[in-house]
Amino acid sequence: MRSPQPHSHPGIRHQRGAVMLVMLVILIMGAMTLLVHSLSGAALRMERDKVTADALAQAKEALISYAISSDNSGSLTARPGNFPCPDKHAPDTLNYGTESSCSAGDLGRIPWKTLGIPEPLDGNGDSLWYALSGNFRKSASVINSDTKGTMSVYDNSGNLLTPPGSEAVAIIFSPGRAIGTQIRNSATDQTTASNYLDISPASINNATINGPFAATNLSDTFNDQLLVVRTKDFMPAIESRVAKALKNILINYYSAHGVYPYPANLSTCNSATCNSDTTICRGRLPFVAQPVDWGGGNALPSTGASPWFSVNNWYLVFYYSIGTSRLASAPPGCNSTLTVSGNSTPGLIFTPGSPLGSITRTYPNSNISWYLEDSENQNLDDVYVTPTTISNDQLYALP
């Protein structure tokens, strides 16, 4: 006789199903919590990165605006092209946010009060740091189109991000959170660059004055983020400002004397001697003009130019060409007017842009290709073209 088969109670089956359902809900909720946490973390990182990028961009814009608008108030060394020195004061001290004095090159925080902007903070809440090439500080001897940055930046593969002709004038750093042995407690800690700027995997130390510097992948041992300022970011605007002032000065000279001054010879002009040559119609802007001098023994003193024009040797970098119709006599090999892309003009000036590649301009020289890139503008005749996309020159026609 067979034993009776056990029967599953409906209530037990229902309880088992409910337990499984609860477990499934718990698993789903856990997965959702992890997903939300992950998404929240990613969103937070994205927001921090955006804050950092905005702060870097704001600081770069402020530095460039400062350099372009700098004038000659109170000093011959206050001129277009000056960058402020870094701020080396501790946070919460009286002068925090203002530039300090700086030597041949220096490293500190962005001098946000000097720039007239709110304190630029990265996504971690730290103020941005700043390295400056020594030859663009206020006490540098000369700043003009020839002046080049002196700092180098490398990526994580050792590739140079600032090749010749594109060297760094200034570098802005987001230091990120403290890592390794970095401490940021006391005033001494907070003014020590190595407590904010890191050493890359390739052993490049961003806390080193004048560099070289590293812009490499972010990790647990390196979290600096960099933004570079190069001469191409601001020198065209400075040249435009200087050229427009010079154009007005030349027009005033013509109004006063009925002629323009003769150019100075390319091959003999230097910072000591750069005089008009009555036998030429193409060359540099003269320091001493003929047939009538500027009126004060140096270039452009009594006709509205700021003193920094001569002090910074701007007359050396301009290419200057005049047709014989606007000169007191007709030098040989010169036409009465010039042609620019098919249009006639009595004269013109070129600003040359920063030196390209490894070119370093020395004086005297007659290397017109160091200054003008378009071949039609290099052949020393009276036919020119409007600068093309291969060039960083700017042309200004004279009436």
DSSP sequence for 250-290: HHHHHHHHSSPPPPBPTTT--SS--BB-TT-SEEE--SB-S
**Dist CA 222 CA 179 (whole Å):** 8
Answer whether residue 294 is part of any domain.
yes
Task: Report residue 57's pLDDT band, with 50, 70 and 90 as the boundaries.
Answer: very high
* pLDDT on residue 59: 97
Residue after which a domain boundary falls, among 201, 231, 261: 231
Answer whether residue 352 is part of any domain.
yes
Residues 227 and 240 in one domain: no
Answer whether residue 2 is part of any domain.
no
Answer whether residue 9 is part of any domain.
no
Residues 167 and 268 in one domain: no
Residues 216 and 243 in one domain: no
Answer whether residue 177 is part of any domain.
yes
pLDDT digits (tens, 9 = 90+) for 273-287: 999 999 999 999 998
Residues 211 and 65 in one domain: yes
Number of domains in the chain: 2
Answer whether residue 6 is part of any domain.
no
Residues 69 and 151 in one domain: yes
Residue after which a domain boundary falls, among 212, 231, 250: 231
**β-bridge mates for residue 153, sequence order:** 213
Q: Is the pLDDT of residue 95 over 70?
A: yes
Residues 338 and 373 in one domain: yes
Residues 198 and 258 in one domain: no
* pLDDT on residue 43: 72
pLDDT digits (tens, 9 = 90+) for 186-207: 999 999 999 999 999 999 999 9
Answer whether residue 5 is part of any domain.
no
Residue after which a domain boundary falls, among 231, 252, 277: 231
CB distance 48 to 223 below 8 Å: no
Among left, alpha and beta (phi > 0; psi -120 to 50; other), residue 176 is left
Burial of 301 (0-12, 13-18, 19+ CB in 10 A): middle
Least confident of 54-58, 115-119, 292-296: 292-296
| Per-residue tokens: 277 | 């040559």
User: pTM for the complete prediction?
Assistant: 0.85
Say which residue the tokens 């005049």 belong to: 322
Answer whether residue 225 is part of any domain.
yes
Provide the residue range defining the domain that includes 317: 236-398
Residues 341 and 254 in one domain: yes
Residues 78 and 178 in one domain: yes
Least confident of 68-82, 85-99, 162-176: 68-82
Closest CA to 354 of 137, 139, 136, 63: 136
Residues 240 and 94 in one domain: no
Residues 244 and 388 in one domain: yes
**Average pLDDT of the residues in 303-311:** 68
The H or E element containing residue 310 is helix 308-311
Task: Report residue 14's pLDDT band, with 50, 70 and 90 as the boundaries.
Answer: low
Residues 364 and 243 in one domain: yes
**Average pLDDT of the residues in 246-272:** 93
**Dist CA 389 CA 33 (whole Å):** 55
* pLDDT on residue 105: 82
